[in-house]
Chain A
Amino acid sequence: MTTMILLFFLCGVALAAMMALLRVRKSAGKLSWRAARTNIFCMPKFRIGVALLAFLYAAVFSVCYIHFEQQTASAVISLNYDEAYKGQNANGTRYNMSEIISEEVVQRAIEKGALKNVTAKALKECLTVEPLVEGSAYIEEQYHISTEFKVTFEANKNTAHLDAENVVMLIGHAYKDYYIDTYADDFNVLVAAIDDQTDYTTMDYLDAVEALSYKVQRVQGYMYELANENPGFVSTTGETFQSLAAKCDNVNTVQIGNNLKAYLLDNGVSRNPEKYIDRLSFDNNRYDFEHQRAKASFDVRNQAVNMYAEEMTRITLIPTWDTTGEFYMGRTKVGVDSLSLEASEFSRLAADYFEGIETNRLLIEKMKQSTSEGSNAYVDQMIERIGAEIKELAQDAMIVSREYSEAKMNRCISTNAMEHSFAKYVILCAALFVMFYVAASVFVQAKQTKKG
């Protein structure tokens, strides 16, 4: 819009200049360069009236220019995390700059700034985003992954009442919040473990064991995930991701496996033994079928290996190059490898099913012998203690994860407003003043020359 204003006022100057030239032509009889030059360079005195007129012209330009410039503002959003230099988000996914002015971010900005009489859609229409430095996709030397983006707000009639600078700053702040929510803070696993309201009294004891084990394994998995990302991170409490994962493992193996589960199996403890025995018997039928199937599959593969062993053990060598360009002979996989692998896999499966059947059989025996039925105070207490311990672990994990996230994402995104160029405004104003003054002076001079 400011460009339009400038063009409009330049047209005014051009009109004044044309009128002056026409006047020169009239006074000199014809329009020649000599006549124009004489009138331009022979202005004998400073004309206050003309200067005032030029000033007025420049002042009107200033008012229009400033008014429309205030309806435009830009801010630079800088990404300050490691992955930004690879064009990625903090979680390794591809970075997308259009999210800066996405409707969700714009809506957040409206809420943050309590902006009135504007919708996210209307505001979005006034926003543009572009990389601050644009490289070229065609010339290798000019490849550039931008980590700085310029957001510009240019008001229209629906958004003219908004403070432009505030809008771009609010967009920057809202984008930071959105970014952290979307790409940094993802503690859902831990939140679920902390807020867990599972009622273990409604489950049979062995089911509770499964549920507890699953819960602690999820926390452990999350810790391993973060440990892979940054193995060296140590929190202010002295904990590391590995130490917390080891604590989870300890709870799962010792507390749940060795203490709770072993106690249940040894003593055949169940809330409802009859019902549980039925379930185990059904499981055993299923396991038996799966066991037989795995065994048959194993036998088939084993036979195949025996039949074709001699033919298949021959090695085929293929000439190839490694990643450094070195030549070597690559060994292909031959059929027997595949059959052997499958055979061992089915063998393992068969063994697992058999183990399951034997465990269930033992449990059924124990339950039949046991007189325990209904609640067992000792086991309930143990489950409650383990549940609390898992919650505590999840809370510790949350503290460390948050600390890690803060360390990683600290000042991950910063927003700085770009000031309007004052020098540009002064130069434009001065240039318009001078041009208008010269044109008007020539006009007056030519008029006086004619009179003279």
Chain B
Amino acid sequence: MQKNKKTGIGRIIFGVLLLGVLALAAVFAYNHYALNENFKETFYQVGSGKIVDDLRVIQISDLHDNEYGEGNEKLLSRIGELTPDIIMLTGDIVDRESADTQKAVALCGKLAEIAPVYYVYGNHETIRAFGYNDMSLPELDQLTGCTEETRSSEPLHAMTDDLKTALEAVGVNVLWNEYETLEIGGTQIDVYGVLTDDPFAFWEYAEDTYVEFCDENRDHLKLMLCHRPYIYETWYGGAWSDLTMAGHTHGGQARIPYIGGVYEYRNGLLPEFGGNRCYVAGKYDVNGSPLVVSTGLAGDDWFRINNQPELVVIDVSRY
């Protein structure tokens, strides 16, 4: 009798486990074959009184050398159809494991033929360029030879990198804690790119140029690019820019309806659930200004469930 009961419980547990495994297999198969092989488009609309004509910004993030079609043909053709005014690449376009950067440089060159392209480094680019993943304060001090008294963005501007040189050669603007001004349809736009996106390192190595970016030409539309969104989670001093774009989080890898991302590198498990209000995926209001965090375009090499790779399209209008 005892044995029979045990056998019954064992069968139930086995059955439940088997069903669970089957369910997971079904979900994986669906994500692998149906979702992660293609990208979706996510449209946002933000308002700014500083623009003359409507402006379309396309954000590409965390591609990790992934390809959509031969030579990213599908991605390029879709971007062309969406007629962007400006294209923003928010880091991790190349992957640290890739043998070379040719794929990314070729893509950027073709993007530059469509619209002005701005590029900020993500942690995968910084590992390749400087050997550091986090670009933390001690790492940056070591890299630049700065001390507490001499930290500024200047030593970063003096540095060079093969990828940066190659990107600039194909007409891409690579921003390392600096900003550039451009004019599109009568609208003056300042684009700031963050290289030191560690919350502690940012203020030490970017404050000089960032303050200038904010204070000069206040009538210009201010766009900010930053690979990791962590600096926005730790600063409550006011609006950062008119529109900020970030990536890195991959949307928390797997997304559960109502709960959000499952795991994020810095914020751990369930970063959007309960009291956790981390910036993982979507559009957020940060001190009154919009922050868009892309889930990225990395495909199936990166563990993704219910989290289709996305191409972000942001329309900036006057209202």
Where the two chains meet, the residues of A that have a C-beta atom closer than 8 Å to any C-beta of B are 45-46, 48, 51-52, 55, 59, 62-63, 112-114, 116, 163, 166, 169-170, 173, 176-177, 180, 184, 402-403, 406, 409-412, 415, 419-420, 422-423
Contact = CB atoms under 8 A, between A and B. Distances in A.
A166 to B, nearest CB: 6
B257 A419 contact: yes
B261 to A, nearest CB: 15
Contacts of A170: 43
Given A411-B47, A411-B319, A422-B258, A163 B40 contact: yes
26 contacts: A45-B8, A48-B14, A51-B15, A52-B18, A52-B19, A52-B22, A59-B23, A59-B26, A62-B26, A113-B41, A113-B82, A114-B81, A114-B82, A163-B41, A170-B43, A173-B45, A176-B317, A177-B317, A180-B319, A184-B319, A402-B318, A403-B49, A406-B318, A420-B257, A422-B258, A423-B258
A52 B19 CA distance: 7
A406 B11 contact: no
| Residue in B8, B30, B318 with the greatest tally of chain A CB atoms within 10 Å | B318
Nearest to A54: B19
A45 B40 contact: no
Interface in B4-27: 8, 11-12, 14-15, 18-19, 22-23, 26
A412 B43 contact: no
Specify the main secondary structure of chain A where it touches its partner. helix
Contacts of B18: 48, 52
| Residue in B47, B82, B319 with the greatest tally of chain A CB atoms within 10 Å | B319
Contacts of A420: 257
Contacts of A177: 54, 317
Interface in B85-109: none
A113 B43 contact: yes
Interface residues of B, number: 29
A180 B19 CA distance: 53
A95 to B, nearest CB: 18
B287 interface: no
Given A45-B8, A114-B83, A173-B45, A51 B19 contact: yes
A55 B319 contact: no
A255 to B, nearest CB: 31
A163 B317 CA distance: 23
A409 B40 CA distance: 31
B148 to A, nearest CB: 41
Given A163-B40, A180-B319, A403-B49, 4 more contacts: A45-B8, A113-B82, A177-B317, A419-B257
Given A48-B15, A59-B26, A166 B40 contact: yes
Contacts of A415: 45
Contact of A410 (B26, B40, B45, B319): B319
A116 B41 CA distance: 13
A163 B38 CA distance: 12
Contact of A176 (B11, B12, B45, B257): B45
Contact of B319 (A112, A114, A409): A409
B81 A406 contact: no
B315 interface: yes
A419 B23 CA distance: 22
Given A173-B43, A173-B315, A55 B19 contact: yes
Nearest to A62: B26
Given A52-B18, A55-B22, A180-B319, A410 B11 contact: no
B319 A412 contact: yes
A59 B258 CA distance: 21
Nearest to B26: A59
A173 B315 CA distance: 9
Nearest to B20: A55
Report, nearest first, the 5 A-B pairs whose CB atoms are least far apart: A422-B257, A114-B81, A46-B12, A48-B15, A173-B45
Given A55-B22, A403-B49, A166 B43 contact: yes
A422 B317 CA distance: 33
A441 to B, nearest CB: 12
Nearest to A109: B43
Nearest to B45: A173
Contact of B11 (A46, A112, A402): A46
A410 B19 contact: no
Contacts of B30: 63
